[in-house]
Amino acid sequence: MISLDFSNLTKIKAAHGLTTKALQATPAQIGRHLKKISNRKQGFYTVIDDAAKVKKINAFADSVAGKYTDIVILGIGGSALGAICLKQSLKHLFENELKDLSPAPRLHILDNIDPALISDFEDLVDSTKTLFIVITKSGTTPETLAQYSYYSHKIYQKKLYPRDHFVFITELKNNPLRQIAREENITCFSIPENVGGRFSVMTAVGLLPAKLIGIDIEKLLLGAREMRDRFLSTDITLNLPYQLALAQYQLAKKGKKINVLMPYSQKLIRFADWYRQLLAESIGKQGIGITPVNALGVTDQHSQSQLYNEGPNDKLLMFINVENLGPCMPIPTMIKKPANFFPEGLTFNRLMHTEMEGTITALTKNNRPNITINVPEVDEFFLGQLLMLFMGATAFLGEFFKINAYNQPGVELSKVITKELLQKY
């Protein structure tokens, strides 16, 4: 089970940390916030019970098994970040480079419209052996429709059938993508109306590509349900999302309005990318906000930790400690080495954990608030827990700050202006 360690918040000066009492809440307090969340009728924590959705995804995956060498996601923001996170976290880190490693197709995510990206990608895949997953909840996202227009043109040029090379994921409402799906007989998966893009990783948006590349989606959902049950508990000792949100909120009130998420795991750096959007887009509105920052241990000890130790004390550092980092990798004795450079028997695993401990200890001595999220290992079950932990915490943060965590009026305004400019063009 994932666990949270807030002990360092009580070890630093009171002006920058939190007391044990500040991290506590009564069942009545938690219950009031859960009722407010329930009244918003959001589906991110109920969609994980949709067995029919999983059955359809599994059936589709079985029907196309062995047919494609490559899967390409055309999408942006919440339509892409969940799948990027799942791939990075749960597959071989170099799977796309090692073509013979797995019978599963390679997964690529084109989450930008930079012409250099589109042009260079042409050299990588054979579209005749590629399945394109087009993801846009509204069915009107201009970046995604531009990508679809480009690749559908390629398919038509090669006299191929679009239904054999495209699958759509969009909302049930009628929209341009639904209309194309009907006309071309393209398989279409639905995004529930009450699940926003940044909360959609447990819908077909994340689960379909995950299944197609061999990820155990049932195990992922099992972990998510375990954390969801804690999210709905009024017992503070069980409700880890509430505990996390409470610490973030209390520290934000003390001026710690930047949250640095720093996993000590190469596999979880895209999880930090996913969370960056979740926190920024959910809580950043009405003059309120917590600014998310990504960091990677141990890499960013050498690029960011100076700022965190001696710069403005306006940050909460959130470390993710993965207890089992994978295969035990000994550091061999140097043929020629300075005396006692490394202790005998040291492993990369132990070195990684020791460097994290040193980083955390230094920050604590410098009165920098920090917490540690302990994860037994990075697999489907614990990643499911981790995803639901942060979605649940974000839901509570919205209620603490008295804002709607599920809309994005600032983003919508820029979309409207972009469409107006395109019409003028």
Q: Which residues are catalytic?
A: 281, 302, 415
CB 274 within 8 A of CB 240: no
Select from 50, 382, 334, 55 the least CA-distant residue to 220: 382
- Of the candidates 274, 280, 279, 272, the one whose C-alpha atom is nearest the C-alpha of residue 297 is 272
Across the beta sheet with 70-74, the strand order is: 106-110, 70-74, 130-135, 166-171, 187-191
Q: How far apart are CA 240 and CA 2, in angstroms?
A: 9
In eight-state DSSP terms, residue 376 is E
The partner residues of 170 in beta bridges, in order of sequence, read 190
Spatial CA neighbour of 227 closest among 382, 29, 4: 382
Q: Say how far apart CA 72 and CA 89 lie, in whole Å.
A: 18
The closest of 229, 259, 279 to 390, measured between CA atoms, is 279
Tokens 């939190």 — which residue?
A: 18
Query: How many CB atoms within 10 Å of residue 127?
Result: 17
CA gap 137, 171 in Å, rounded? 5
